[in-house]
Amino acid sequence: MTRQPSLNVGLVQQSCCDNRQENIDRSIAGIRQAASQGATLVVLQELHTSLYFCQTEDCDRFDLAEAIPGPSTEQFGHIAKELGVVLVASLFEKRAAGLYHNTAVVLEKDGSIAGRYRKMHIPDDPGYYEKFYFTPGDLGFQPITTSVGKLGVLVCWDQWYPEAARLMALAGAEILIYPTAIGWDPADSKEEQARQLDAWQTIQRGHAIANGLPVVSVNRVGLEPNPEKDAPGAMFWGNSFVAGCQGELLAKAGDKQEEVLVVEIDRQRSEQVRRIWPFLRDRRIDAYGELTKRFRD
């Protein structure tokens, strides 16, 4: 199969509500729009079939989880096949009773499951009580091979860890992809909100630079209330973006509205950039053993 010199990537930034079917319909509408604009790879945000339920610890929320393969992979697989796109979906996976994962699933153009990635880094912070729900991933940092290339799929909190991006790059990933659910505490000052957003963009652009790979980050948008009525909820900040191999911003969505972006990525840039910035060549792998320790006392 002849490799195309460029790849059109669609990003579906959406808001979510407490109606599962309405969320799925919004995702599918975004996929269709991206495909109509020429996307052959479409990426959805983290946990796009429901509200972000991790704002509180509630055992009833485990009812949202599903098997993989299951209803969502079947439905989104049909859409991928119909439109001829590779699709990155993000699901709450029920692996067994009492064993759940935050899982990204890649669906091939024929609707089959190309692979999955289980979120490795699990946060536990006010409004983000993910350790209550998710078991840390056990599939490692392994790119998923598809008809559009080797996809280094990671999930949200993983995006803050240079080790995760590096290991995906070393395993042959051609693009780094981050389905995401991150937002502001509405009580934070405007200055603090600006610092957080800037840090989020900067760290991921840094992964692009350090590894000579494009980065695709797709975030949800809109205010989602906290079930505990006296809590402020989460204002998801959108700002989905694509960065090139030198960290340059190729496209960026806004912070308030649902948007679909389609961005052309030059497949040859990684080779060109890595020749002039040969970070992989100059790594001192003989001196990095301490990285496997929690801290150097």
Over residues 115-148, the pLDDT tens digits come to 999 999 999 999 999 999 999 999 999 999 999 9
First vs last C-alpha separation in the chain: 52
For residue 246, being part of any structural domain is answered with yes
Q: Find, among 205, 178, 193, the residue nearest to 256 by Cα.
A: 193
pLDDT in tens, 240-254: 999 999 999 999 999
12-21, 213-222, 224-233: least confidently modelled range: 224-233
Q: Which two tokens stand for residue 76?
A: 């989104």
What percent of the chain has pLDDT above 90?
94
pLDDT in tens, 38-68: 999 999 999 999 999 999 999 999 999 999 9
For residue 117, being part of any structural domain is answered with yes
For residue 80, being part of any structural domain is answered with yes
pTM for this predicted structure: 0.96
Number of folded domains that form the chain: 1
CA atoms of 3 and 188, how far apart (whole Å): 47
For residue 180, being part of any structural domain is answered with yes
Q: Which residues are catalytic?
A: 46, 119, 156
For residue 1, being part of any structural domain is answered with no
For residue 53, being part of any structural domain is answered with yes
CATH number at residue 131: 3.60.110.10
Q: For residue 37, give Cα distances in angstroms to 32, 44, 291.
A: 9, 16, 43
For residue 92, being part of any structural domain is answered with yes
Mean pLDDT of 255-264: 97
pLDDT at 2 (0 to 100): 58
CA atoms of 282 and 92, how far apart (whole Å): 39
Strand partners, 104: 90, 117
The domain of 42 spans 6-292
Burial class (CB in 10 A: 0-12, 13-18, 19+), 134: buried
Q: Which two tokens stand for residue 212?
A: 């000579």
Q: For residue 4, give Cα distances in angstroms to 81, 102, 216, 244, 264.
A: 20, 32, 19, 17, 12
